[in-house]
Chains A and B, each alone.
Chain A
Protein backbone atom coordinates (compact mmCIF):
# COMPACT_ATOMS: atom_id res chain seq x y z
CA UNK A 1 0.00 0.00 0.00
CA UNK A 2 1.11 3.55 -0.54
CA UNK A 3 2.16 5.69 2.39
CA UNK A 4 1.52 9.42 2.57
CA UNK A 5 2.39 12.31 4.85
CA UNK A 6 1.58 16.03 4.71
CA UNK A 7 -1.33 17.91 3.20
CA UNK A 8 -2.19 20.02 0.15
CA UNK A 9 -2.44 23.19 2.21
CA UNK A 10 -0.49 26.24 1.21
CA UNK A 11 3.18 26.07 2.35
CA UNK A 12 2.90 22.32 2.83
CA UNK A 13 3.62 19.36 0.59
CA UNK A 14 2.26 15.86 0.33
CA UNK A 15 4.72 13.01 0.11
CA UNK A 16 3.61 9.67 -1.27
CA UNK A 17 5.87 6.61 -1.09
CA UNK A 18 5.37 3.54 -3.27
CA UNK A 19 7.35 0.35 -3.46
CA UNK A 20 10.10 0.34 -6.05
CA UNK A 21 13.24 -1.63 -6.81
CA UNK A 22 15.19 1.56 -7.41
CA UNK A 23 15.07 5.13 -6.10
CA UNK A 24 12.69 7.42 -8.00
CA UNK A 25 12.02 10.99 -6.95
CA UNK A 26 9.19 12.85 -8.69
CA UNK A 27 8.35 16.44 -7.85
CA UNK A 28 5.23 18.38 -8.81
CA UNK A 29 5.27 21.91 -7.51
CA UNK A 30 3.34 25.14 -7.85
CA UNK A 31 6.76 26.80 -7.97
CA UNK A 32 8.53 24.13 -9.96
CA UNK A 33 10.62 26.45 -12.11
CA UNK A 34 12.23 28.23 -9.19
CA UNK A 35 12.28 25.49 -6.59
CA UNK A 36 11.85 22.13 -8.31
CA UNK A 37 15.58 21.40 -8.15
CA UNK A 38 15.92 22.48 -4.55
CA UNK A 39 13.04 20.23 -3.52
CA UNK A 40 14.54 17.32 -5.40
CA UNK A 41 17.84 17.93 -3.64
CA UNK A 42 16.27 18.00 -0.17
CA UNK A 43 14.46 14.73 -0.92
CA UNK A 44 17.57 13.01 -2.21
CA UNK A 45 19.78 14.33 0.59
CA UNK A 46 17.33 13.09 3.18
CA UNK A 47 17.09 9.67 1.54
CA UNK A 48 20.91 9.53 1.45
CA UNK A 49 21.13 10.54 5.06
CA UNK A 50 18.87 7.67 6.09
CA UNK A 51 20.37 5.23 3.62
CA UNK A 52 17.10 4.52 1.80
CA UNK A 53 17.40 3.66 -1.87
CA UNK A 54 14.59 1.37 -2.99
CA UNK A 55 11.53 3.58 -2.94
CA UNK A 56 9.49 5.83 -5.21
CA UNK A 57 8.94 9.28 -3.72
CA UNK A 58 6.30 11.59 -5.16
CA UNK A 59 6.18 15.11 -3.78
CA UNK A 60 3.16 17.33 -4.47
CA UNK A 61 4.40 20.70 -3.35
CA UNK A 62 2.32 23.75 -2.46
CA UNK A 63 5.22 26.05 -1.63
CA UNK A 64 6.81 24.17 1.27
CA UNK A 65 10.15 25.29 2.67
CA UNK A 66 13.05 22.82 2.91
CA UNK A 67 12.45 21.85 6.54
CA UNK A 68 8.82 21.04 5.75
CA UNK A 69 9.71 18.85 2.78
CA UNK A 70 12.29 17.09 4.90
CA UNK A 71 9.89 16.58 7.81
CA UNK A 72 7.11 15.21 5.60
CA UNK A 73 9.49 12.78 3.92
CA UNK A 74 10.85 11.54 7.24
CA UNK A 75 7.29 11.07 8.54
CA UNK A 76 6.34 9.07 5.46
CA UNK A 77 9.50 6.94 5.69
CA UNK A 78 8.70 6.14 9.32
CA UNK A 79 5.06 5.37 8.55
CA UNK A 80 6.07 3.06 5.76
CA UNK A 81 8.63 1.27 7.89
CA UNK A 82 11.54 2.34 5.69
CA UNK A 83 13.26 3.78 8.77
CA UNK A 84 12.76 3.48 12.52
Chain B
Protein backbone atom coordinates (compact mmCIF):
# COMPACT_ATOMS: atom_id res chain seq x y z
CA UNK B 1 0.00 0.00 0.00
CA UNK B 2 1.67 3.23 -1.11
CA UNK B 3 1.96 6.19 1.18
CA UNK B 4 2.56 8.87 -1.43
CA UNK B 5 1.27 9.35 -4.97
CA UNK B 6 3.10 12.08 -6.86
CA UNK B 7 1.41 13.67 -9.89
CA UNK B 8 3.81 14.20 -12.77
CA UNK B 9 2.74 16.29 -15.79
CA UNK B 10 2.61 13.91 -18.72
CA UNK B 11 4.07 16.31 -21.27
CA UNK B 12 7.15 17.36 -19.28
CA UNK B 13 10.10 15.11 -20.17
CA UNK B 14 12.38 16.54 -17.47
CA UNK B 15 9.97 15.47 -14.72
CA UNK B 16 9.09 12.12 -16.25
CA UNK B 17 12.78 11.36 -16.52
CA UNK B 18 13.21 11.99 -12.80
CA UNK B 19 10.06 10.20 -11.75
CA UNK B 20 11.77 7.78 -9.37
CA UNK B 21 14.16 10.31 -7.92
CA UNK B 22 11.49 12.02 -5.87
CA UNK B 23 11.15 9.11 -3.44
CA UNK B 24 7.40 8.76 -3.68
CA UNK B 25 6.01 5.24 -3.42
CA UNK B 26 3.91 5.83 -6.50
CA UNK B 27 3.74 8.29 -9.38
CA UNK B 28 0.73 9.30 -11.40
CA UNK B 29 1.70 10.28 -14.94
CA UNK B 30 -0.89 12.85 -15.81
CA UNK B 31 -2.64 13.20 -19.15
CA UNK B 32 -5.47 15.30 -17.71
CA UNK B 33 -5.38 18.63 -15.88
CA UNK B 34 -1.67 19.38 -16.16
CA UNK B 35 -1.71 18.96 -19.93
CA UNK B 36 -3.07 21.67 -22.25
CA UNK B 37 -5.63 20.69 -24.83
CA UNK B 38 -3.18 21.26 -27.65
CA UNK B 39 -0.65 18.90 -26.05
CA UNK B 40 -2.93 15.93 -25.21
CA UNK B 41 -1.69 13.89 -28.15
CA UNK B 42 1.94 14.71 -27.42
CA UNK B 43 1.59 13.76 -23.73
CA UNK B 44 -0.08 10.47 -24.59
CA UNK B 45 2.73 9.54 -26.96
CA UNK B 46 5.43 10.63 -24.52
CA UNK B 47 4.01 8.61 -21.64
CA UNK B 48 3.61 5.59 -23.88
CA UNK B 49 7.11 5.89 -25.25
CA UNK B 50 8.54 6.32 -21.78
CA UNK B 51 6.67 3.35 -20.29
CA UNK B 52 7.68 1.11 -23.17
CA UNK B 53 11.33 1.90 -22.49
CA UNK B 54 11.54 2.11 -18.70
CA UNK B 55 10.63 0.60 -15.43
CA UNK B 56 11.83 1.99 -12.12
CA UNK B 57 10.93 0.61 -8.72
CA UNK B 58 8.00 2.86 -8.00
CA UNK B 59 4.37 2.14 -8.72
CA UNK B 60 3.27 3.85 -11.92
CA UNK B 61 -0.27 4.97 -12.57
CA UNK B 62 -1.60 6.96 -15.50
CA UNK B 63 -4.32 9.57 -15.01
CA UNK B 64 -6.32 9.46 -18.20
CA UNK B 65 -8.90 12.02 -19.27
CA UNK B 66 -12.47 11.49 -18.08
CA UNK B 67 -14.96 9.33 -19.92
CA UNK B 68 -16.69 12.28 -21.64
CA UNK B 69 -13.55 14.10 -22.72
CA UNK B 70 -13.03 12.71 -26.20
CA UNK B 71 -9.53 11.55 -25.23
CA UNK B 72 -10.64 8.68 -23.02
CA UNK B 73 -10.34 5.78 -25.41
CA UNK B 74 -7.08 6.87 -26.99
CA UNK B 75 -5.59 7.41 -23.52
CA UNK B 76 -6.61 3.93 -22.38
CA UNK B 77 -5.34 2.13 -25.44
CA UNK B 78 -2.09 4.09 -25.48
CA UNK B 79 -0.87 2.32 -22.34
CA UNK B 80 -3.09 -0.72 -21.88
CA UNK B 81 -0.51 -3.17 -23.20
CA UNK B 82 2.24 -1.76 -20.97
CA UNK B 83 3.28 -2.61 -17.43
CA UNK B 84 1.45 0.00 -15.37
CA UNK B 85 -0.01 -0.42 -11.88
CA UNK B 86 -3.28 1.09 -12.90
CA UNK B 87 -5.35 3.91 -14.28
CA UNK B 88 -6.42 6.94 -12.28
CA UNK B 89 -9.89 7.90 -13.46
CA UNK B 90 -10.99 11.49 -12.85
CA UNK B 91 -14.63 12.50 -12.40
CA UNK B 92 -15.41 8.92 -11.44
CA UNK B 93 -18.95 7.59 -11.21
CA UNK B 94 -20.37 4.07 -11.46
CA UNK B 95 -20.98 4.27 -15.22
CA UNK B 96 -17.52 5.63 -15.92
CA UNK B 97 -15.99 2.80 -13.88
CA UNK B 98 -17.94 0.26 -15.90
CA UNK B 99 -16.78 1.87 -19.14
CA UNK B 100 -13.15 1.83 -18.08
CA UNK B 101 -13.30 -1.69 -16.69
CA UNK B 102 -14.66 -2.89 -20.01
CA UNK B 103 -11.96 -1.08 -21.95
CA UNK B 104 -8.91 -2.12 -19.97
CA UNK B 105 -7.11 -4.81 -18.06
CA UNK B 106 -5.54 -2.84 -15.26
CA UNK B 107 -6.58 -1.81 -11.75
CA UNK B 108 -8.49 1.43 -11.39
CA UNK B 109 -8.09 4.24 -8.88
CA UNK B 110 -11.08 6.55 -9.18
CA UNK B 111 -10.90 10.20 -8.17
CA UNK B 112 -13.99 11.13 -6.17
CA UNK B 113 -14.45 14.79 -7.00
CA UNK B 114 -18.11 15.73 -7.14
CA UNK B 115 -21.01 15.45 -4.64
CA UNK B 116 -22.82 12.63 -6.45
CA UNK B 117 -19.63 10.59 -6.60
CA UNK B 118 -19.20 11.03 -2.85
CA UNK B 119 -22.70 9.69 -2.32
CA UNK B 120 -22.06 6.83 -4.77
CA UNK B 121 -18.63 6.07 -3.30
CA UNK B 122 -19.56 2.59 -2.08
CA UNK B 123 -20.87 1.55 -5.49
CA UNK B 124 -17.76 2.95 -7.13
CA UNK B 125 -15.19 1.42 -4.82
CA UNK B 126 -16.77 -2.01 -4.51
CA UNK B 127 -16.14 -2.78 -8.24
CA UNK B 128 -13.64 -5.65 -8.38
CA UNK B 129 -11.25 -3.78 -10.68
CA UNK B 130 -11.21 -0.74 -8.37
CA UNK B 131 -8.27 -0.86 -5.99
CA UNK B 132 -8.90 2.19 -3.81
CA UNK B 133 -10.13 5.76 -4.01
CA UNK B 134 -8.56 9.21 -4.29
CA UNK B 135 -10.30 12.30 -2.97
CA UNK B 136 -10.22 15.34 -5.30
CA UNK B 137 -11.14 18.18 -2.96
CA UNK B 138 -10.28 21.07 -5.28
CA UNK B 139 -12.84 20.12 -7.90
CA UNK B 140 -15.33 18.97 -5.28
CA UNK B 141 -15.35 22.31 -3.48
CA UNK B 142 -15.40 24.22 -6.75
CA UNK B 143 -18.42 22.18 -7.84
CA UNK B 144 -20.18 22.98 -4.58
CA UNK B 145 -19.12 26.63 -4.82
CA UNK B 146 -17.61 26.55 -1.36
CA UNK B 147 -14.21 27.71 -0.27
CA UNK B 148 -11.36 25.28 0.01
CA UNK B 149 -9.60 26.14 3.28
CA UNK B 150 -6.39 25.12 4.95
CA UNK B 151 -8.01 23.50 7.96
CA UNK B 152 -10.27 21.51 5.66
CA UNK B 153 -13.47 21.79 7.69
CA UNK B 154 -15.48 21.80 4.47
CA UNK B 155 -14.21 18.37 3.47
CA UNK B 156 -14.07 16.83 6.91
CA UNK B 157 -17.24 14.82 6.49
CA UNK B 158 -16.27 13.70 3.00
CA UNK B 159 -12.90 12.45 4.24
CA UNK B 160 -14.57 10.44 6.99
CA UNK B 161 -17.16 9.07 4.60
CA UNK B 162 -14.59 7.91 2.07
CA UNK B 163 -12.39 6.50 4.82
CA UNK B 164 -15.31 4.41 6.05
CA UNK B 165 -16.21 3.21 2.56
CA UNK B 166 -12.62 2.25 1.76
CA UNK B 167 -11.96 0.54 5.05
CA UNK B 168 -15.21 -1.40 4.81
CA UNK B 169 -14.09 -2.64 1.39
CA UNK B 170 -10.50 -3.03 2.61
CA UNK B 171 -9.08 -0.80 -0.05
CA UNK B 172 -6.74 2.19 0.29
CA UNK B 173 -8.11 5.69 0.77
CA UNK B 174 -5.80 8.28 -0.78
CA UNK B 175 -6.26 11.82 0.43
CA UNK B 176 -6.47 14.95 -1.74
CA UNK B 177 -3.18 16.76 -2.56
CA UNK B 178 -2.07 19.83 -0.61
CA UNK B 179 -1.91 22.71 -3.07
CA UNK B 180 0.18 25.32 -1.28
CA UNK B 181 3.64 24.40 -2.48
CA UNK B 182 5.72 26.31 0.05
CA UNK B 183 3.62 25.71 3.15
CA UNK B 184 5.05 22.52 4.62
CA UNK B 185 3.59 23.19 8.07
CA UNK B 186 0.17 23.38 6.47
CA UNK B 187 0.88 20.14 4.64
CA UNK B 188 1.90 18.41 7.84
CA UNK B 189 -1.31 19.47 9.60
CA UNK B 190 -3.45 18.53 6.64
CA UNK B 191 -1.81 15.15 6.18
CA UNK B 192 -2.01 14.35 9.89
CA UNK B 193 -5.68 15.19 9.92
CA UNK B 194 -6.35 12.99 6.90
CA UNK B 195 -4.38 10.16 8.48
CA UNK B 196 -6.27 10.51 11.72
CA UNK B 197 -9.55 10.19 9.82
CA UNK B 198 -8.43 6.99 8.15
CA UNK B 199 -6.59 7.96 4.97
CA UNK B 200 -3.89 5.41 4.09
CA UNK B 201 -1.95 7.62 1.73
CA UNK B 202 -1.94 11.04 0.12
CA UNK B 203 -1.55 12.44 -3.37
CA UNK B 204 0.99 15.20 -3.99
CA UNK B 205 1.42 17.82 -6.68
CA UNK B 206 4.98 18.79 -5.78
CA UNK B 207 8.08 16.70 -5.06
CA UNK B 208 8.80 18.75 -1.93
CA UNK B 209 5.73 17.27 -0.29
CA UNK B 210 6.73 13.64 -0.69
CA UNK B 211 9.06 13.23 2.26
CA UNK B 212 6.55 14.58 4.76
CA UNK B 213 3.77 12.44 3.36
CA UNK B 214 5.90 9.32 3.49
CA UNK B 215 6.76 10.07 7.08
CA UNK B 216 3.18 10.63 8.16
CA UNK B 217 1.58 7.73 6.34
CA UNK B 218 4.13 5.11 7.03
CA UNK B 219 3.36 2.64 9.76
CA UNK B 220 4.03 4.20 13.15
CA UNK B 221 6.67 2.78 15.47
CA UNK B 222 4.01 1.42 17.82
CA UNK B 223 2.11 -0.21 14.96
CA UNK B 224 5.33 -1.83 13.79
CA UNK B 225 6.10 -3.11 17.23
CA UNK B 226 2.60 -4.56 17.62
CA UNK B 227 2.99 -6.31 14.29
CA UNK B 228 6.40 -7.65 15.24
CA UNK B 229 4.95 -9.10 18.46
CA UNK B 230 2.08 -10.74 16.59
CA UNK B 231 4.43 -12.36 14.14
CA UNK B 232 6.78 -13.40 16.88
CA UNK B 233 3.93 -15.15 18.77
CA UNK B 234 2.63 -16.64 15.53
CA UNK B 235 5.92 -18.31 14.71
CA UNK B 236 6.29 -19.37 18.31
CA UNK B 237 2.94 -21.13 18.51
CA UNK B 238 2.95 -22.35 14.92
CA UNK B 239 -0.86 -22.24 15.00
CA UNK B 240 -3.36 -20.37 12.77
CA UNK B 241 -5.05 -18.84 15.79
CA UNK B 242 -3.53 -18.12 19.19
CA UNK B 243 -3.70 -15.97 22.28
CA UNK B 244 -1.61 -12.84 22.70
CA UNK B 245 -1.88 -10.59 25.75
CA UNK B 246 -5.10 -12.37 26.67
CA UNK B 247 -6.77 -11.71 23.32
CA UNK B 248 -7.52 -14.09 20.39
CA UNK B 249 -5.47 -13.49 17.28
CA UNK B 250 -6.59 -15.14 14.02
CA UNK B 251 -5.24 -15.44 10.49
CA UNK B 252 -6.55 -12.19 9.01
CA UNK B 253 -4.86 -10.23 11.79
CA UNK B 254 -1.62 -12.13 11.28
CA UNK B 255 -1.82 -11.42 7.56
CA UNK B 256 -2.29 -7.71 8.25
CA UNK B 257 0.75 -7.80 10.51
CA UNK B 258 2.80 -9.50 7.83
CA UNK B 259 1.84 -6.84 5.29
CA UNK B 260 2.65 -4.07 7.70
CA UNK B 261 6.11 -5.45 8.37
CA UNK B 262 6.69 -5.88 4.63
CA UNK B 263 5.69 -2.26 4.09
CA UNK B 264 7.93 -1.14 6.91
CA UNK B 265 10.80 -3.02 5.33
CA UNK B 266 10.13 -1.39 2.00
CA UNK B 267 10.12 2.00 3.66
CA UNK B 268 13.38 1.23 5.40
CA UNK B 269 11.82 1.37 8.78
CA UNK B 270 13.05 -2.12 9.44
Asked whether A6 lies within 8 Å of B42 as measured between CB atoms, the reply is yes
Residues B41 and A78 in contact, CB atoms below 8 Å apart: yes
Cβ B41 vs Cβ A11 within 8 A: no
Q: Which of B50-58, B64-72, B170-178 contacts A (4 or more CB under 8 A)?
A: B50-58
The interface-forming segment of B9-17, B86-94, B141-149 is: B9-17
Question: Are the CB atoms of A65 and B42 closer together than 8 Å?
Answer: no
A35 to B54, CA, bound (A): 20
Question: Chain B residues near A43 (CB, 8 Å)?
Answer: none
User: A9-B13, A12-B14 in contact; A67/B41 too (CB < 8 A)?
Assistant: no
B45 at the interface (CB under 8 A from A): yes
Which of A64, A67, A70, A75 gathers most chain B CB within 10 Å? Answer: A67
| Given contacts A68-B46, A75-B42, A11 and B53 within 8 Å (CB-CB) | no
Q: Which residues of A contact B54 (CB under 8 A)?
A: 67
Q: Give the size category of B's interface with A.
A: 10 to 19
Q: If A67-B52, A71-B49 touch, does A11 touch B42 (CB 8 Å cutoff)?
A: no
Which listed residue (A6, A10, A70, A72) contacts B14, Cβ 8 A? A10
User: How many residues of A sit at the interface, in one of the four size bands?
Assistant: 10 to 19
Proximity bits, B116-150, A CB within 8 Å = 1, else 0: 00000000000000000000000000000000000
User: CB of B19 within 8 A of chain A?
Assistant: no
Interface pair A79/B13, CB less than 8 Å apart: no
Residue B48 lies at the interface, judged by CB distance under 8 Å to chain A: yes
Which A residues between 5 and 24 are near B, CB-CB below 8 angstroms?
5-6, 9-12
Cα of A78 to Cα of B42 in the assembled complex, Å = 10
- Whether A74 contacts B13 by the Cβ 8 Å rule is no
Interface string of A48-75 (1 = CB under 8 A from B): 0000000000000000111110111011
Complex Cα gap A8–B26 (Å): 28
Nearest Cβ in chain A — how far from B83, in angstroms? 15
29 CB-based A-B contacts, threshold 8 Å: A5-B42, A6-B42, A9-B13, A9-B14, A11-B13, A12-B14, A64-B13, A65-B13, A65-B17, A67-B49, A67-B50, A67-B52, A67-B53, A67-B54, A68-B17, A68-B46, A68-B49, A71-B42, A71-B45, A71-B46, A71-B48, A71-B49, A71-B50, A72-B45, A72-B46, A74-B49, A75-B42, A75-B45, A78-B45
Name A residues whose Cβ lies closer than 8 Å to a Cβ of B.
5-6, 9-12, 64-68, 70-72, 74-75, 78-79
